[in-house]
Amino acid sequence: MSFILFSLLTVIKKVPKLTSEIFYLISFSVLVLFNFFVNQQSQIDDITKIFGGIVIFTASFYLCRGEYTVKKNERIKLIFIALLPFFIFVIDTIFGYKESENAMSIFSNSNNYIFFSICCIWLMMLYDFSRKLVLSFTALSLAVTSTLGAFLALNIAAVFYFRKKIFSPQFFIFFSIAASVGIILIIYSDLYLFERIRGTANVFYTLISDYNINEFADIGFGDAMAMSGSNDGSDVSFLFRIKIWTESLTYFLNQNIIIMLFGLGFGATPEINSFGLVAHNDYLTWLIEFGFFGFTLIVYGIWKGFLKLKDTIFIIPYLAILIYFFTENLFYNFFAIAIFSFCLALTLQKIKNENFTD
């Protein structure tokens, strides 16, 4: 922890003047420290993960300034890093080396795997990889992980990027064909990802048809499984997310004003819901554990990043990750946030140096 704080101070000392970015990072760091010392729930490993992301972003943004030429061997290294988890996954599958049935290569689950893959997609864009290679890697990652949330997030982000062109004749024909192919795959394909979409749709339709929202809390796992027709429970995961969100938010909003402003402390969410699980929603986690002050500060930083990236192609991985934050628990994953912080810092510098728009 001392090393991380020393590193942050060293980087800040390299900056010639107090910029708005540095002021924001200092404000957020002070809030994190205050939260840690005030709340008994806060754990040292959680605050270390948070500061790790802050340090990596600060160092990448302020120590990587100026024009930068990507060399061929760096592209080769990125391909190796991006594909390494896939090769390990293949070996795991063939020889049965997985530590648990939920493990996905070197990651604890498929959600962390796809988060890593989206960051690799982002780096490929920054390193000027060809569009075909980026799309091929994206398709491979989605096929391996079968993560419904990432599939939807990437598609929504892509539609947002092409929002100004989508009704032009050329793009309208392309999107019409793509939408038709997608609908056919969703209805008829036996691929696991599309089976999940059908199962989730069945659960959602049954819920809104046969239940009131007040009755969601009484629906059991077996009932939801019967609605979906699945055997592994993956199609009903969103239902239990809703139940955890409802319980956690209700508990938080019934606290005193001090707790609502400053939060319950890092890692407190599993303690306040009947499942004993994380929220699987990073925005809700920020609100509950950081309070309204911390939540507002984090969302402000995210929004500023969105405004800078919204007219560039880098908005696709950035927005996809922001959407994915709604249904996953990624903020306390040090490895994932470290890569995310690095990608965001390099992107902001690239835009700043090149006045980049696309």
Residue 265 near residue 50, CB atoms below 8 Å: no
Mean pLDDT for the chain? 79
pLDDT at 320: 95
Q: Which of 65-74, 153-162, 319-328 has the weakest average pLDDT? A: 65-74
More reliable by pLDDT, 217 or 292: 292
More reliable by pLDDT, 31 or 308: 308
pLDDT at 215: 61
Mean pLDDT of 67-73: 70
209-238 pLDDT, tens per residue? Answer: 766 655 655 666 566 556 655 555 555 566
Whether residue 135 is predicted with pLDDT greater than 60 in this model: the reply is: yes
137-170 pLDDT, tens per residue? Answer: 999 998 888 787 888 899 889 989 988 777 777 7
Distance CA 24, CA 45 (A): 23
Distance CA 319, CA 156 (A): 8
Q: How confident is the model at residue 356 (pLDDT cuts 50, 70, 90)?
A: very low
Q: Percentage of residues in the chain with pLDDT exceeding 70?
A: 74
Closest to 192 (Cα-Cα) out of 137, 227, 244, 231: 231
Total-model pTM: 0.81
Whether residue 114 is predicted with pLDDT greater than 70 in this model: the reply is: yes
Residue 284 near residue 273, CB atoms below 8 Å: no
Residue 112 CB burial class (10 angstroms; 0-12, 13-18, ≥19): buried
pLDDT at 230: 56
pLDDT at 57: 84
Whether residue 357 is predicted with pLDDT greater than 50 in this model: the reply is: no
